[in-house]
Structure 1
Amino acid sequence: MTRRTATRSLLPVAAALLLVCAVPIGIHAAEPHPIGPHGGTLVQVEDVRCEVVVADHVVRVWLFDDQGEPVDAGEVRGTLTLQYAENPRRYHYPLYPDTKKNSPGNVLISERLRSDRLDDEVTPRFAFYGLNRQPRQSVTFAATFRTDTARVRQAIAQQTVCPVSGRALTTRATLWNVPIDSQSVFVCCESCIDAVQEHSKQYLMPPVPTDTDQAAPMPVDRP
C-alpha cells in the first residue's frame, strides 16, 4: 500500500474521530458550573476571585477573596482589551473603581463600550495593577462575556436562597448553576449539587418570564 492510498483510507476514520471529539462540547454546557452572584463569569486571579459582568455596554469586575468576602478596589486600576477575530486592531478601556454614590467598594467599571458585539468572536483580556497592594505589579488574565447575564441575575433574584441549605444566594461569592432539563437551579456551594440532581423535581423553580412573554388577555364582561 502506497503512502497516498493509506492516507485516503484513514480519512473516514479521522472524520469519525473528529465528530466524536466534538460531542463533549455540548455536554459540558449542561453540567453544573460555577457562576458569580451577579450572573457573571468567575475567574480566579491569584488569591482574588473576579466576577466579570457586562450589561448596558459597560463592563464591571467584582472582586472577592477566597472566603467570598469583598476585596477593596480603591487602589486597583485596570485595562480591558478587546480584539475581534476579523480585526487586528485592539480596543482598550480603562477600569476604575466605581465612585458613584452607594456603589460597593469592590467593583471596577469601564467606560461605555464602543461596540455592542459580545459574541464568541471577541477576546476580552484584563490587566490589573494594585490587586495585591502592589501598584507596580500587573496581573493579566482572559475571560469570556456571558450573554445571558440579565436572565441569570433575574433568576437568582427570584430564587433568593439555596434550596438545599437555605443560605441567601446574594451573600455568596460563588454560586453553582445546576441545569435540570431546560431550567437552572442555583445552589450556594458544590456540596449541594448532588441533592438537587438526585431530587430534581423537588427543587425546580417556576420559569422566569422573559420580555417576549405576553400575558394572557383578561376576560371581558359583556352586557
Structure 2
Amino acid sequence: MKRTLIITAFSLAISTSSVFGQTIQSQDHHAGHNHATTGTTKAREINQAGPHGGSLKQTDNLQIETIVSQGGLRMFVYDRTGHPVSVDKGRGAASVRVEGHAKRYRYDLLPDGKGALTAPVNLSQLAGRQIDVAIQLVGMKAAGRSVVSFNEVATVPASEQQLAAAAIARQKICPVSGKPLGSMGDPVTVDINGQKLYVCCAGCVGAVKSNPAKYATGRPQITVTTATQADAAAIAAQKVCPVMDEPLGGMGTPIKVMVGDKPTYLCCKGCIKKVQAEPAKYLAMVHGKQMGSGGTEESGNVVAAGTEQVREGIFKVVAADAPFIAAQKKCPVMDEPLDAMGGPYKVNAAGKAIYICCPGCAKKIAAEPNKWLAVLKSQGVEAPLIK
C-alpha cells in the first residue's frame, strides 16, 4: 500500500510540473479506454480589454484574457457572454521569446486558486521590452477535449521606479545647475503642468517654479563666448580641452561654454558642437573633481556601491547611476547597449564603477579591471569612484 501511494504521488508531480511540448494532451482513463485530446482550437483577438485590463482572445465558446506583468503571466477564462469559467481542472504552457532573441523559455500555467491559470516568473528585467508568448491550454470544460492555442504579443510594463530611472537617464543633467543628475544625491522631481522634470537638488526647485517655461525642455541653457582675462584662473585649473585633450591656449584664446551655471573651456570652436550634443559627458569630465571648502580635492564623479545584488558582486542600478549610465552608453565587454541584455548592472572595478549589459560580463571585469577601465577611458568615459 505504501509503495502504491509513493508511485501515485510521483506520477501526480510529473503531470503537474512537466514542460509541455508542441501540443498538450489530457487523458481520461476509464473502462479500459484512453480518450486523448482531439484537435486544436485557435483563438482570435478581440479589440477590447478584459475585465482585469488584459487583452482578450475569442474561440468558438470561450474568451481568454491574458495579463502580462513583472510578476509573470495570468490567464482568465470566460464563456461567450463574459461570465467566468472555472480553470481549476485546467492547465497550460507558455513559451516566451524576448524581442531580438531566438531562444524560447517554457513555463507551466497552473490554477492559482483565485480563478486564473498562472505562470509566476520574474519579468522585471524585461520591463519596457516586447515579448512573444505562444500559449496552449487544456481542461477548459467549454472547449471539450480541444487544445486552445494562441499567440500573445505584449510589452512587459515598467514600474514607477523604472520609468523614473529611464526619464533621468534621458534627461541626464539638471536644467538649472548643469550638473549631472545623481551627482548631488537622488534627483528631485518637479511637476510642470503635469510634466515631470528632474533637478539635481532641492536648491534648484525654486528656480524651475519661478520660471517654468525657461526650464521646461529639461535641458540647461548653453551659451558660448570667448574667454576673457577674468577666466584665466579657471582656465589654468582646467588645463586641457575635454574634447581634444589639448592644452587650453594652444590653438588661440579658449572658448568658454556655459552649461547652466557651469563653465567648460575648449581649445577651439570646432569642439563646441560636441559639448552641445553631450553636455553631461563633458561636464563630468571637467567638473568631476572640485576643490572642497577645506582646500582638499573632493570627487564629484562618485557613486554609491549599491545594496541590492543580483549575484555576488553584481548590483542593480538606482537613480543615482543614471548620469553615469548615460555617459558610458555601452558595455565595454560586449560593446552592446547597456540595456540590450536585461541590464544595466554595476560592478566594482578597482574601486570604480563599470556598468555592464549582463551578469556574464562581470567575470571578465573582475579578472582584468584595469584593462576594462582603460577601454572606457579610450572612449572618453571616466568611470566614477565607488564610495
TM bracket (short chain): 0.3 to 0.5
TM (norm. structure 1) is 0.45
Which has the greater radius of gyration?
A: 2
Greater relative contact order (Cα 8 A, min sep 6): structure 1 or 2? Answer: 1
